[in-house]
């Protein structure tokens, strides 16, 4: 059966999701729109959607080979991928390897400080509440996920971190921190969303140059070039 786009069911800051003529599959479309500081700053990063689609597809494929189950099925075009339908767990998982972003003022850490071990943080996926930080007790009490699901999420997040850190190191990139989202497909927890310069902090290993969305957040310039550079290092294209 040829997959056809049917109906837009979600549009977020960076992506649009459509149903298809297969009830178990969605189409995920990547936009060039960029936002920062909880939507207070808005702009456009030219070809960002193309870069994020290709980077995410490459990394999802690699992770699947490492026994990490994901929602990714196949690339449809420059900006679209076919994915499995997920019941999204409203818990964003942040994995931190190096102190950066909000962690620094919150804990009084200098940006760039190497952490002795990875830190896992949870945020409640709720735009109206600005995605507040929560812990496992909140998750269980609010019914956002079960203990068994969160155990699986933690295991997957740490394994993904180990795989990606080693991969990016070979590409001359430090994986500073990144956000993951998970969902349930036919009773199984899968990795969803995307893995890209939108959701990760990448620094060049030698120069510590930022090659991610922080260039947009901080008005550092050469934003499009940073996304293209990550695409080139990840895929070789």
In angstroms, the CA 202 to CA 162 distance is 15
Domain covering 87-222, topology: D-amino Acid Aminotransferase; Chain A, domain 1 (3.30.470)
pLDDT at 37 over 80: no
Mean pLDDT taken over the chain: 96
pLDDT of residue 133: 97
Position 50 confidence tier, pLDDT thresholds 50, 70, 90:
very high
- Per-residue model confidence (pLDDT) at position 144: 98
- Which residues are CB-contacts of 62 (< 8 A; sequence separation ≥ 6)? 163, 167
Q: Treating both helix axes as pointing N-terminal to C-terminal, what angle do 223-235 and 48-65 enclose, rounded to 10 degrees?
A: 30
Domain topology for 5-84: Phosphorylase Kinase; domain 1 (3.30.200)
Q: What does the domain layout of the chain look like in residue ranges?
A: 5-84, 87-222
C-alpha 126/C-alpha 208 separation (Å) is: 32
Model pLDDT for residues 79-115, shown as the tens digit of each residue: 999 999 999 999 999 999 999 999 999 999 999 999 9
How many CB atoms are closer than 10 A to CB 145?
21
- Whether the pLDDT of residue 66 is over 90: the answer is yes
The reply to whether 5-84 and 87-222 are identical in fold is: no
Give the integer Cα–Cα distance in Å for 106 and 98: 14
Confidence of residue 121 (pLDDT cuts 50, 70, 90): very high
Number of other CB atoms surrounding residue 12 within 10 Å: 12
Task: Concatenate the DSSP letters of all residues of 98-143 into one string.
Answer: E--TTHHHHHTPPTTPEEEEEEEEEEE--GGGT--EE-HHHHHHTT
Q: Which residues contact 95 (CB under 8 A, 6 or more apart)?
A: 118, 119, 120, 157, 158, 160, 161, 177, 178, 179, 180
Q: Which pLDDT score, from 0 to 100, does residue 36 have? A: 83
Does position 138 have pLDDT exceeding 90, yes or no? yes
- Are the beta carbons of 116 and 97 closer than 8 angstroms? no
- Taking 90 as the threshold, does the pLDDT of residue 38 lie above it? no
């Amino acid at each position: 059966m040829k997959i056809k786009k049917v109906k837009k069911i979600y549009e977020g800051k960076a992506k649009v999701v459509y149903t298809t003529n297969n009830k178990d599959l969605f189409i995920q479309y990547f936009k060039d729109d960029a936002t920062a500081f909880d939507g207070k700053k808005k702009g456009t990063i030219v070809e960002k959607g193309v870069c994020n689609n290709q980077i995410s597809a490459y990394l999802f494929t690699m992770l699947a080979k490492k026994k990490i189950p994901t929602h990714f099925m196949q690339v449809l075009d420059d900006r679209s991928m076919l994915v499995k339908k997920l019941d999204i767990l409203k818990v964003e998982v942040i994995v931190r390897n190096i102190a950066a972003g909000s962690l620094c003022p919150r804990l009084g850490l200098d940006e760039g400080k190497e952490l002795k071990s990875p830190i896992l943080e949870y945020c409640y996926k709720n735009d109206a509440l600005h995605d507040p930080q929560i812990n496992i007790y909140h998750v269980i009490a609010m019914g956002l996920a079960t203990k068994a699901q969160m155990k699986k999420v933690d295991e997957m997040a740490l394994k993904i971190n180990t795989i990606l850190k080693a991969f990016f190191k070979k590409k001359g990139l430090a994986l500073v921190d990144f956000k993951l989202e998970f969902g349930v497909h036919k009773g199984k927890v899968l990795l969803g969303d995307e893995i890209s310069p939108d959701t990760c902090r990448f620094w060049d290993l030698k120069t510590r140059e930022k090659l991610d969305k922080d260039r947009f957040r901080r008005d550092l310039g050469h934003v499009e070039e940073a996304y293209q550079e990550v695409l080139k290092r990840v895929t070789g294209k």
